[in-house]
Amino acid sequence: MSKQDTHFFNVFSVVIGLLVVVMLSIFALARHLGATQQMAPLKGDPLVVQDVQARTALPVRVAVAGQDNSALVIAPVAATATASFAMAVPTTGDEVYEQACKACHGLGIAGAPKAGDSAAWGPRRSKGMPTLYDHAIKGFTGSDGVMPPKGGRTDLSDDLIKASLDHMLAM
């Protein structure tokens, strides 16, 4: 090795050594600041403490006789929560009318005889209730339009459809 090379090597080693020292001190400073400035206040934060307790809690909770077990009560699902994504199944003629018949018969849409319109219902009534029940249940295509079977609610019982027709004719 020439003298110049040796000199370069020495200077280079010192520079690298200094950089390592600077890096280690920055690392130590960061650790120190993290521990004193960030972790310490966090450990006392009630929200963080609550969070840690929730995460480390046993997966099973046991009711203990003689102690306050109110936290174990299973809250019933509110009726409104279920009703919001599934329309309640109708149980009366009135409800069936609202859900299945009113869309057409409420305003007399698409040729449907309007509920409460005696002129429109008069000739139909004279067919007799058994026929009208039958047409409401099985559907009917007349000169005015198409009455779909059960108004489209084929999931409902015949009796409910009859009840909805009774309700509609009483309006």
Q: Which residues bind ligand HEC (CB under 6 A)?
A: 96, 100-101, 103-105, 110-113, 124, 127, 132, 135-136, 140, 142-148, 150-152, 161, 164-165, 168
What is the nearest approach in angstroms of ligand HEC to the Cβ of residue 163? 9
Q: Tokens for 81?
A: 């929560």
Between residues 34 and 160, which has the closer beta carbon with respect to ligand HEC? 160
**Distance from C-alpha of 113 to C-alpha of 119, rounded to nearest angstrom:** 9
Supply the minimum distance, in Å, between the C-beta of residue 119 and ligand HEC.
Answer: 13
First to last CA, the chain: 113
Considering Cα of 15, then 18, then 24, then 25, what sign does the dihedral take?
negative
> Nearer to ligand HEC by C-beta: 76 or 164?
164
Question: Would you state the structure tokens that stand for residue 143, as one six-digit string?
Answer: 């000169």
CB of 111 to ligand HEC, least distance (A): 4
Nearer of residues 33 and 110 to ligand HEC, judged by Cβ: 110
C-alpha 88/C-alpha 53 separation (Å) is: 40
Distance CA 21, CA 15 (A): 10
Measured from the CB of residue 110, what is the shortest distance to ligand HEC in angstroms? Answer: 5
